Amino acid sequence: HYFSLVCMFFICMWPDGVSYRAFRTQLWIYTLYTGFVQILQTRYQMARLYTLRALGQANIMDVANSDSTQIRWAPNMTFLLPFLFGGQAFTLFNAIWLLKAFHRGVEWQACVAGVAFLVIAIGNIFTVVMTIRRKRLDDKGDVAKKKV
């Protein structure tokens, strides 16, 4: 979240010019897509928590990241993953675009925002891949325990 804050701070400081105007529309599309993905994530978390509450495994005040709601792999997560990776690819694309623009000689804000976008993209991709891996391993461990 701090890198997102830094990124937006420097984009807001970027003077209005040809390079900023070229990036502005791309940033608007990225922002709209990110908002759409956040809505999908919220719906996914609401559905998972509803399921856990119905099974008696979670309380009404639990949140998705609490220890009492260990959410395992769900089929609707498969629906969500392409949108997550699409957003992360878009973030990586923004980083590359900004860094290339800086090399063409635009304002320094493009470089700082590009580096921040790059850190965000790499961090998000790593986090999602590790989460998927952990959920898959947890599910395999649960199946092995049931067989014993």
Instruction: Tell which residue, 32, 38, 35, has the closest CA to residue 80.
Output: 38
Longest dimension (CA), the chain: 66
| pLDDT at position 37 over 90 | yes
Tokens representing residue 112 in the block: 């700082």
**Separation of alpha carbons 115 and 3, rounded Å:** 9
Instruction: Tell which residue, 123, 113, 108, 119, has the closest CA to residue 8.
Output: 113
**Separation of alpha carbons 101 and 107, rounded Å:** 9
Vertex 68: Cα angle to 37 and 129 (nearest 5): 40
| pLDDT at position 143 over 80 | no
How confident is the model over 42-93, as pLDDT tens digits? Answer: 888 888 888 777 877 777 676 665 444 455 556 777 888 999 999 999 999 9
pLDDT tier for residue 30 given thresholds of 50, 70 and 90: very high
CB 110 within 8 A of CB 1: no
The neighbour count for residue 12, using CB atoms within 10 Å, is: 9
* pTM score of the predicted model: 0.76
**Separation of alpha carbons 49 and 42, rounded Å:** 11
List alpha helices for the chain, DSSP H.
2-13, 18-54, 75-103, 108-147
The DSSP call for residue 84 is H
